Amino acid sequence: MNEKEADAIAQIAMYCEKIKLAQEKFFPTKDLFNEEALYRDGCAFYVQQIGEHVNDLSEGFIAEHSEIPWHQIRGFRNVIAHAYGNVDAEILWETITEDIPRLAEFCIRLQEDRL
């Protein structure tokens, strides 16, 4: 992992943590998440930023760590950025409650291994 990739992983980990904290504080349940567009928008922004930082990862890095769906992360970033009105709240909820914690664990493990 080169420095640019290490920086990208650090940024991705930071946004994963922000999503976790927002969920814990503002919408611990799916019902609250569905009721509060402001919180959904904030988390969508964080997911979009994660996708932006995936662009800083080389194809070699992505191939080496294929257990993470990097291309899907980028694709969801594009949906959020270019077709925001079409973002399905259910998919966003599943992303932040199921996928983001796994991504956070991966990033933390990778950072620890680098030390």
The confidence score (pLDDT) of residue 68 equals: 95
* Calpha distance 65→108 (Å, rounded): 14
pLDDT in tens, 52-95: 999 999 999 999 999 999 999 998 898 888 876 678 888 899 99
With both helix axes pointing from N to C terminus, report the angle between 70-82 and 37-54 in degrees, rounded to the nearest 10: 130
* Calpha distance 25→39 (Å, rounded): 10
What is the three-state SS of 34-92? HHCHHHHHHHHHHHHHHHHHHCCCCHHHHHHCCCCCHHHHHHHHHHHHHCHHHCCHHHH
Instruction: Name the token pair of 94.
Output: 């599943």
pTM over 0.85: yes
By the 8 A CB rule, do 113 and 32 touch?
no
